[in-house]
């Protein structure tokens, strides 16, 4: 499949005034997504929130169908959640932890997830075991396999870490999890939307993702997928009249399927918008998107690596559309501010986001550029030349 870049840019008005290379932070929604959100908000203003939701029932149902197609699951395995962290939390804190349980993770695990590990470690006496990286920076699958024992309760992995282009071997980790019968939670926040992600191929039991990044959905939206055979093994940490039914004075029953991980009140317009964003990505084709973004990211890495005093910091044999680098003698935030002054959006990845990995590499902050399919080769070259122009002679 070949992407129609002109059409994609026409759907993204901001491309006329800025070079947006912060898609790993939040990508600008395309016009069809914006219209889906604003049309529903207008409908709420005209007829009322509950009434608008009832009228939008087909679009709300389409959300589950579209996300199921996106990740290769079933609609009843999908929950709409307000962000990826809360989606991940609903799965992680739904595990019935016991003293002595072990969590196996990777040195590049995301900060919010690791804080949750530490929380259950303090609360329940759970052991957190970060698996070392292989020579290319990805999780060492052989070391992971060797670390699994009878106390291992969960394997938790970030598919694409926030601080670089590394793509972890999620399917190889899934094979380890299946062989040992251990639950497997995948944080796909940075991978869903920029590459094909199929839960059957990966072999995970739970997957969390956000709307705002490479899916180009509204902020404040996300989803959780839980394998049907895993759902009853989890005890959702929060329940309400959406996620459970109050049967009698002393009894309740969780809602069937993954709806038990939702709550009654939510951003209805955002849910419709996220469903539309998923449909937009599916229409373009995830293989075509992946080919496009990997090509742009490769061009960006190559250009930056050719600049004196610039060091590209990305790891991994397979790399995604996140490019991180440092500049000798210049703090990361100063580089980002300089790019912003030339109309180029970038961001800083700080040590608190991936402490174990960055401390091991002696890094406290990185400049992060993350192209998407609507970016052009000229924009990539402009970013490289802007960094180059800021270097001392």
Complete DSSP assignment for 206-269: EEEEESSSTT---TT-EEEEE-HHHHTT---S---TTTEEEEETTEEEEPSGGGGG--S---HH
Residue 40's closest CA among 63, 10, 24, 20?
A: 63
| Torsional sign, CA 83, 86, 92, 95 | negative
Which residue in 171, 169, 165 sits closest to 190, CA to CA? 165
Q: What is the pLDDT of residue 2?
A: 85
Mapping DSSP onto H, E and C, the string for 117-169 reads HHHHHHHHCCEEEEECECCCCCECHHHHHHHCCCCEEEEEEECCCCCCCECCC
pTM for this structure?
0.97
Buried b / exposed e along 149-173 (16+ C-beta atoms within 10 A): eeebbbbbbbbbbbbbbbbbbbebb
Mean pLDDT by 10 residues, the chain (393 residues): 92 96 98 98 98 98 98 98 96 98 97 98 97 96 98 98 96 98 98 98 98 98 98 96 97 97 96 98 98 98 97 96 97 97 98 96 98 98 96 78
Instruction: Tell me whether residue 118 is exposed, middle or buried, using C-beta atoms within 10 angstroms of its C-beta: 0 to 12, 13 to 18, 19 or more.
Output: exposed
Do 370 and 24 contact (CB within 8 A), yes or no?
A: yes
What domains are defined for the chain?
5-28+285-389 (3.90.1150.10), 32-283 (3.40.640.10)
- C-alpha distance from residue 48 to each of 45, 52, 220 (Å): 6, 6, 21
Question: How many helices (H) and strands (E) would you count in the chain?
Answer: 15, 15
Task: Supply the pLDDT for residue 1.
Answer: 65
CA contacts within 13 A on the Cβ side of 385? 7
The predicted pLDDT at position 391 comes to 85
**Measured in whole angstroms, how far is the alpha carbon of residue 140 from the centre of its chain?**
21
351 is written with which tokens?
Answer: 């040590």
Phi, psi of 324 (to 5 degrees): -120, 150
Please enumerate, as own/partner, the contacts of 51-55 that have beta carbons within 8 Å and a separation of 24 or more.
Answer: 52/268, 53/268
Rounded (10°) CA dihedral 161, 166, 169, 173: -30
**DSSP class per residue in 37-48:** HHHHHHHHHHH-
What does the block give as tokens for 91? 């799965």
pLDDT of residue 147: 98
Cite the beta strand spans of 12-67 per DSSP E: 19-20
Query: In a 3-state reduction of DSSP, which class is residue 28?
Result: coil
Roughly how many angstroms between the first and final C-alpha of the chain, as a whole number?
Answer: 44
Euclidean distance between CA atoms 297 and 289, whole angstroms: 12
């Amino acid at each position: 499949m070949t992407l129609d870049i002109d059409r994609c840019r026409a759907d993204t008005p901001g491309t006329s005034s800025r070079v947006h290379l912060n898609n790993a932070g939040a990508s600008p929604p395309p016009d069809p997504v914006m219209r889906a959100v604003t049309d529903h908000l207008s409908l709420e203003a005209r007829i009322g929130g509950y009434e608008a939701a009832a009228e939008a029932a087909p679009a709300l149902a389409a959300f589950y169908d579209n996300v199921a197609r996106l990740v290769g699951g079933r609609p009843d395995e999908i929950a709409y959640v307000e962000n990826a962290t809360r989606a991940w939390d609903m799965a992680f804190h739904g595990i019935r932890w016991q003293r002595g349980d072990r969590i196996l993770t990777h040195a590049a695990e995301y900060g919010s997830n690791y804080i949750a590990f530490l929380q259950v470690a303090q609360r329940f006496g759970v052991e957190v075991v970060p698996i070392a990286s292989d020579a290319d920076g990805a999780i060492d699958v052989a070391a992971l396999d060797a670390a699994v024992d009878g106390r291992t309760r969960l394997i938790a992995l970030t598919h694409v870490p926030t601080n670089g282009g590394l793509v972890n071997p999620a399917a190889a980790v899934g094979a380890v999890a299946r062989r040992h019968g251990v639950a497997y939670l995948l944080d796909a926040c940075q991978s869903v939307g920029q590459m094909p992600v199929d839960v059957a191929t990966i072999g995970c039991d739970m997957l969390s993702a956000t709307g705002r990044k490479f899916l180009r959905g509204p902020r404040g939206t996300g989803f959780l997928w839980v394998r049907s055979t895993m759902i009853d093994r989890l005890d959702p940490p929060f329940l309400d009249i959406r996620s459970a039914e109050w049967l009698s004075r002393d009894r309740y029953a969780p809602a069937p399927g993954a709806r038990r991980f939702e709550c009654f009140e939510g951003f209805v317009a955002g849910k419709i918008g996220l469903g539309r964003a998923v449909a937009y990505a599916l229409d373009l084709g995830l293989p075509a998107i992946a080919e496009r973004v990997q090509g742009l990211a490769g061009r960006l890495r190559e250009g930056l690596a050719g600049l004196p005093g610039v060091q590209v910091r990305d790891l991994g044999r397979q790399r995604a559309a996140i490019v991180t680098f440092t500049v000798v003698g210049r703090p990361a935030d100063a580089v980002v501010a300089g790019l912003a002054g030339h109309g180029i959006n970038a961001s800083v990845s700080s040590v608190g986001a991936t402490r174990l990995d960055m401390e091991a590499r002696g890094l406290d902050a990185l400049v992060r550029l993350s192209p998407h399919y609507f970016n052009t080769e000229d924009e990539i070259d402009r970013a490289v030349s802007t960094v180059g122009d800021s270097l001392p002679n």
